[in-house]
Chains A and B, each alone.
Chain A
Amino acid sequence: MSSNSSIVDRSSHSQALDGVKVLDFGWALVGSLTSKYLADYGAEVVKIESSTRIDLSRLVRNVSTAQANNLDDKPWFVHLNTSKFGFTFNLKHPRAREVMDRLIRWADVINENFTPGTLAKLGYGYDYACKLSPGIIMVSGSAYGQTGPLAHEWGIDGTGAAWSGYLDLTGWADRDPVGPQMPYGDAVVPYLNILAVVAALDYRRRTGKGQHIDTAMTDVATHQITPFLLDWQVNGHLQTRAGNRIAHASPHGVFPCQGEDQWCAIAVFNHEEWNAFCRVIGNPDWTSEARFSTLALRKENEDVLEGLVAEWTRQQTAETVMNLMQRAGVPAGVVQTAQDLIERDPQMRAREFLTPLEHPVLRTMGHPTPPFKLMETPAQVRTAPRLGEHVEYVCKHMLGMSDAEYAELAQADVFK
């Protein structure tokens, strides 16, 4: 790996997943994020793309600088694909298989999230990969899983959120359910993929055996609502949307503050926190009224209580509310925006959640770092590849092709 080191210039620190090789068919969110975090922690990830089937995140123009005819200028793609090697190739080319076979033999792990069955239809399913490389680990992410009557259906983040019961629980009691403007299922499945893949690498070290791992967004999101499933079965109680309220804390809500659309969340779980909360707001007379003296009574009178809390919060900035409450030991937090996270929040900055790196088209921009931090072997993030950026490097340095071999395949248009 000494030549051509500028491409893979890593610092001298070794990384947790050094030496792990990932053949990556991941796309959209689940597949891309799975391999991003593996790559950020040191795995060699070769992301397979083709110029006929372009990753969604290279196409969607969600910022004003994005051009329709440029596949390398989308910050979304950069966010999802840091630290990977970019490889393009034409799967329908008659000589594609000889290259793909070499990639499969090279890999420890194959990551994919096509609609179930797609990879097998292309002739590269788990059984085929196993024949070439008996200990291979394959992870397949999907909406509904690789089996069952819905296996061949596809879905997006909201599909899983709705189907799994999570959406039915989110929103105001008197209105339609709502969901955040950001993903949940697409965020959670990658972590379980990584957990399974890395545990499977350890399992293979101990037993010599590989495996095919099947993760379904609907399985995972349903797993999350286990307390609600138990309440229904054991108590016959079918919980539904309840705004920001929960049964074991009060006040527990989001209160308006000074300024337009400024809010602070406050959560009072116990007696000490209630007393501290009352002190912070200056112990107005209503705080000593009997109807607010216990959690049960505050829950009973929550509409009135929330109105009174809001009277106080409206006079303060959200930041003041948070700081006063936290100093007194009451959980509270500003309803922050992306702007706040980037420009104001000292905590996120201290965690280097976006690390500024140079991208060949976009220039310096924030690159997301993994939010789980290994203190001794920190993630080392590199910018995302341009389409096909590392074809030659992968062929020669990972697959061990000679210059002549590579040139011949390139001339035959295999890498399109």
Chain B
Amino acid sequence: MTERLPGLLDGYRALDLTNEIGFTCGKILAAMGVDTIKIEKPGGDAARNIPPFAGGVPNPEKSLYWWAGNTDKQSITLDIETSDGQALFRRLAAKADFVIESFMPGYLDSLGLGYAALRDLNPRSIMTSITPFGQRGDYSQFKGSELIASAMSSVMAGNGDSDRAPLREGPDSIYYLANTAAAAGTAIAHYRRELTGTGQHVDISLQHVSAMRGSVDLFVWEFDKRLIKRIGPFRRNGPRATRWIWPCKDGHVFWTLMTGTVGAPANRALSQWMDELGANNPLRAIENWEKLNLAEITQERLDVMQVAIGAFFLSLTKREIAEEGLRRGINASVVNNSADLLDNPQLTAREYWTELPSPESAIAPKYPKHFILSTETENFVRQRAPMIGEHNDEIYRGELGLTTDKIAELKAAHVI
């Protein structure tokens, strides 16, 4: 083993009661060194039934979705709806620095385990709650999901083709975003707690986190009573729609016409490349890209340029655009897929991947190892997600000092 640098949050302990809505927060904190214990109901977290599965057959130990979201955690099973389970939870919570949960608001209170109870037990406690709509308000008891958050936050209204239904983003992007916001809020509460000795409750709403991405839409409505609509692979850029995503010979490429000093070098480089390959090139007519203002050319003229650019990209492969485009500085980016990424030189150069073997998989798949790099600390994904109750023995016997008989008794009663 090579010597490891410390993590930013080494030495702290989190209890993680989340489902898929909130388990990435604990994953992030765990990579930063927080000793994170996933508390699952006996039989395992329901989110272990989310596909895809290793080998394709449903099995709670083989959910790749669950593996992805629970690296570096320990797992214990515990039924917090039983009084014995609640007593054990209180013992763990009394010494924990963080509790992360994603139940319906009010559920933990109904068990006597909500933030108020936690604070009485341990005033240093920080409870982070990640829920569809937040802890209070008219919709706090509404059920949610990635799809619902996308709809209710207005992100979806601006995503998709105008002739079909609005679209969610492909991955569970809002879960991921809300969990990074949750981790940020947790860290701020922690910073404060270490100075004052007092913790607090941190409240994350998927809808709210996602809605703030629409800051431009919000003030455009406030000032001009204008709504930004979904327009397929285009994006509204001030007064004009510029194309963002273009088909190429073997996939897609991202490129957009930006004006002023920011976009000028790339536009000029693209125009020159089009000329060299003898493509139809209306961009050539632009003399001063630095002075070009999208607001001052017509959409028709912009469209003529975009049609020509589209034909040009269609004649090239992803690889040609990635390599030759980079050399020429056209500032394009290819639309990668999972297979492309695993071979990507930039990620490889950043030592982005880590292989994590699992007894449930014939191969040791590569996982993204980091989301931040630091000169002083290592905040890396290091350990595969745990099996159901894999650490029951360490925690119940080793840490809480329960006897083998007592553990057997709790198992028989389905508490653990």
Residue interface mask A202-224, B partner, CB < 8 A = 1? 11010001111111101110111
Contact of B158 among A182, A334, A348 (CB under 8 A): A182
B333 with A168: CB separation less than 8 A: no
* Minimal Cβ-Cβ distance residue in B for A234: B54
- What residues of A have a CB within 8 angstroms of the CB of B365 in the complex? 229-230, 233-234
- CB A21 to nearest CB in B, in angstroms, measures 14
Residue interface mask B215-232, A partner, CB < 8 A = 1? 111111111110111111
A119 at the interface (CB under 8 A from B): no
B219 with A179: CB separation less than 8 A: no
- CB A332 to nearest CB in B, in angstroms, measures 7
A213 with B252: CB separation less than 8 A: no
B223 with A64: CB separation less than 8 A: yes
- CB A51 to nearest CB in B, in angstroms, measures 15
B183 at the interface (CB under 8 A from A): yes
B165 at the interface (CB under 8 A from A): yes
Stretch at the interface among B74-82, B195-203, B279-287, B402-410: B195-203
Given known A-B contacts A62-B216, A341-B211, A194 and B333 have beta carbons under 8 A apart: no
CA distance A62 to B294 in the complex (A): 12
A263 at the interface (CB under 8 A from B): yes
A284 at the interface (CB under 8 A from B): no
Contact of B169 among A78, A184, A240 (CB under 8 A): A184
A202 with B145: CB separation less than 8 A: no
B151 with A264: CB separation less than 8 A: yes
A229 with B235: CB separation less than 8 A: no
- What residues of B have a CB within 8 angstroms of the CB of A220 in the complex? 180, 371
Query: How many A-B pairs with Cβ below 8 Å?
Result: 500
A372 with B181: CB separation less than 8 A: yes
CA distance A354 to B176 in the complex (A): 23
B211 with A348: CB separation less than 8 A: yes
Q: What are the 9 closest A-B residue pairs judged by CB atoms, nearest first?
A: A169-B170, A181-B158, A372-B185, A162-B254, A211-B376, A350-B137, A226-B68, A191-B180, A148-B349
Secondary structure dominating the interface of A: mixed
B108 at the interface (CB under 8 A from A): no
CA distance A126 to B376 in the complex (A): 13
Residues of chain A at the chain B interface (Cβ within 8 Å): 16-17, 37, 41, 56, 60-65, 75-76, 78-80, 126, 144-150, 153-156, 158-159, 161-172, 175-184, 187-188, 191-192, 194-196, 198-203, 205, 209-216, 218-220, 222-235, 237-244, 246-249, 252-256, 261, 263-265, 267, 269, 326, 329-342, 345-348, 350-351, 353-354, 365-366, 368, 370-377
* Minimal Cβ-Cβ distance residue in A for B138: A346
CA distance A61 to B293 in the complex (A): 11
- What residues of A have a CB within 8 angstroms of the CB of B56 in the complex? 235
List 14 contacting pairs A-B, 8 Å CB cutoff, sorted by A.
Answer: A62-B216, A148-B345, A167-B254, A169-B170, A178-B232, A180-B158, A184-B173, A196-B379, A203-B377, A219-B368, A248-B50, A254-B147, A255-B165, A341-B218
Contact of A227 among B65, B155, B182, B192 (CB under 8 A): B65
A17 with B191: CB separation less than 8 A: yes
B350 with A219: CB separation less than 8 A: yes
Contact of A372 among B51, B155, B182, B217 (CB under 8 A): B182
Given known A-B contacts A155-B331, A168-B252, A16 and B160 have beta carbons under 8 A apart: no
Can you name 8 extra interface pairs (CB under 8 A) apart from A145-B346, A164-B336, A200-B8? A16-B191, A76-B215, A171-B160, A184-B213, A188-B180, A196-B374, A219-B370, A374-B192
- CB B311 to nearest CB in A, in angstroms, measures 15
A351 with B208: CB separation less than 8 A: yes
Residue interface mask B54-83, A partner, CB < 8 A = 1? 111000000011011100000000000000
A371 with B205: CB separation less than 8 A: yes
* Minimal Cβ-Cβ distance residue in B for A190: B184
- CB A82 to nearest CB in B, in angstroms, measures 11
- What residues of B have a CB within 8 angstroms of the CB of A210 in the complex? 376
- What residues of A have a CB within 8 angstroms of the CB of B67 in the complex? 230
Given known A-B contacts A166-B169, A231-B52, A215 and B372 have beta carbons under 8 A apart: yes
CA distance A85 to B354 in the complex (A): 42
A188 with B176: CB separation less than 8 A: yes
A60 with B173: CB separation less than 8 A: no
A213 with B372: CB separation less than 8 A: yes
A346 with B139: CB separation less than 8 A: yes
Given known A-B contacts A166-B171, A210-B376, A373 and B203 have beta carbons under 8 A apart: yes
- What residues of B have a CB within 8 angstroms of the CB of A156 in the complex? 256, 258
CA distance A345 to B253 in the complex (A): 37
B160 with A376: CB separation less than 8 A: no
- CB A367 to nearest CB in B, in angstroms, measures 10
- CB B228 to nearest CB in A, in angstroms, measures 5
Given known A-B contacts A158-B244, A159-B333, A248-B51, A371 and B188 have beta carbons under 8 A apart: no
- What residues of B have a CB within 8 angstroms of the CB of A366 in the complex? 218-219, 222
CA distance A336 to B253 in the complex (A): 30
A187 with B333: CB separation less than 8 A: no
B233 at the interface (CB under 8 A from A): yes
- What residues of B have a CB within 8 angstroms of the CB of A176 in the complex? 232-233, 245, 247, 252
A181 with B217: CB separation less than 8 A: yes
Residue interface mask B139-165, A partner, CB < 8 A = 1? 110111101111111111111110011
Given known A-B contacts A211-B376, A248-B49, A374-B202, A181 and B371 have beta carbons under 8 A apart: no
A164 with B159: CB separation less than 8 A: no
B335 at the interface (CB under 8 A from A): yes
Given known A-B contacts A163-B334, A222-B347, A178 and B253 have beta carbons under 8 A apart: no
Given known A-B contacts A181-B230, A225-B171, A377-B192, A63 and B224 have beta carbons under 8 A apart: yes
* Minimal Cβ-Cβ distance residue in B for A326: B142
CA distance A161 to B169 in the complex (A): 11
- What residues of B have a CB within 8 angstroms of the CB of A212 in the complex? 374-376
CA distance A196 to B44 in the complex (A): 31
Contact of B374 among A213, A252, A368 (CB under 8 A): A213
Contact of A172 among B51, B167, B181, B188 (CB under 8 A): B167
A211 with B189: CB separation less than 8 A: no
- What residues of A have a CB within 8 angstroms of the CB of B377 in the complex? 200, 203, 211
B143 with A63: CB separation less than 8 A: no
B308 at the interface (CB under 8 A from A): no
* Minimal Cβ-Cβ distance residue in B for A329: B143
CA distance A226 to B31 in the complex (A): 15
- CB B263 to nearest CB in A, in angstroms, measures 10
B367 with A226: CB separation less than 8 A: yes
